[in-house]
Structure 1
């Protein structure tokens, strides 16, 4: 074994406990169907409209000791998106907007979490990640809040509520149909209740 190989092996062994410790701190949480809602808003002919899109899959890993190390991957089901105006749904799913047939999912993968005041995921915290819509991936930053259930003990982190808010420009993802009717900006308002996996 050469000196370089031995050094590489020793360096790898030295960082292994740190990697395992970091992974061990992450705890999986599952989404509560009843307490989870992915909402969006858009302006149609100058009037604000709203809709919802269900979550197909979610991988939520929370590090309660170092919240900034937490990780989130969420996939939304585009084909089941709904709007309050029934006639707006089909244009929204059409090839010129979300193109649900060719791109049936929207995916978000977190890349960075910036804590808010007092080192908490609340009061100004932000989560940045890669958002993939219509096969186009762009970074997006959302305001995030993470809370314990009302009335729960200080150390009871078994059930948490996450709130996410932000906006995107639909043209950045090629969802540019009906520009004369629909505004460029789409607002996001997400509320998720997560339960620690046993």
Structure 2
């Protein structure tokens, strides 16, 4: 059997590399602001108050060949937060809690994704990341779901819905004002629609 010379070996290596499946690059998605917001709720003197905060920016990378390598980066607009009780809103945005004037954004950046039992970013998936509120960054784990638009074809991935839910301790982020009447836990429900970037 003849030995391969260096040129033949290089040609064979090139051919093999071309035959291997090429891993698809992650797909970048950008925020549809009109269809995205954060819902939150907290207890004030025994009454459950609910509010919303707009998503100012979100960038999502979805790696369809390995969903656990996907990522999320979400920024919220603190000053535009709304809550049903105007007095509670003023206090919430003031220096003892969120201090919107000095810290106008809340940000969550994913570090890793734990897929659900079916290997998808839904039905039990979690996103572990870091949230920054005021000048404090802490690890946070949120339940995650990523879906196609209702009624869309299975191959239509141009528009996706993301939902992140969980709760945080406001004290852990230095937003501990009015602890006498406002409980520590704040529930989060982030809903965002993202479009495939062109």
Given the two structures, how large is their TM-score scaled by the length of structure 1? 0.86
Alignment of 1:58-137 (within 5 A): 58-137=58-137
Question: How far 1:165 sits from its partner (Å)?
Answer: 0.6
Structure 1, unmatched stretches of 5+, are: 1-16
User: 1:75 and 1:150 mapped to 2: Cα distance?
Assistant: 26
2:156 alignment partner, SS class: coil
User: 2:101 and 2:43 mapped to 1: Cα distance?
Assistant: 24
The corresponding residue for 2:139 is 139
1:91 alignment partner, SS class: helix
Question: How far 1:33 sits from its partner (Å)?
Answer: 2.1
Moved more, 87-96 or 56-65: 56-65
The corresponding residue for 2:12 is none
User: 1:41 and 1:135 mapped to 2: Cα distance?
Assistant: 22
Q: Deviations over 1:104-150 (max 9, x none)?
A: 11111100100002101111000011000011000000001111111
The corresponding residue for 1:184 is 184
Alignment of 1:1-16 (within 5 A): none
User: 2:108 and 2:117 mapped to 1: Cα distance?
Assistant: 25
User: 1:179 and 1:71 mapped to 2: Cα distance?
Assistant: 34
Question: How far 1:156 sits from its partner (Å)?
Answer: 1.4
Question: How far 1:75 sits from its partner (Å)?
Answer: 1.3
Question: How far 1:164 sits from its partner (Å)?
Answer: 1.0
User: 1:154 and 1:73 mapped to 2: Cα distance?
Assistant: 25
Matched residues, number:
178
Question: How far 1:27 sits from its partner (Å)?
Answer: 1.2
User: 1:56 and 1:122 mapped to 2: Cα distance?
Assistant: 24
1:110 alignment partner, SS class: strand
Larger fraction in helix: 1
Cα pair distance change 1:124/1:197, threshold 3 Å: same
Contact persistence 2:33–2:55 (CA under 8 A): no
Given the two structures, how large is their TM-score scaled by the length of structure 2? 0.86
User: 2:89 and 2:40 mapped to 1: Cα distance?
Assistant: 13
**Structure 1 stretches of 4+ moved >4 Å:** none
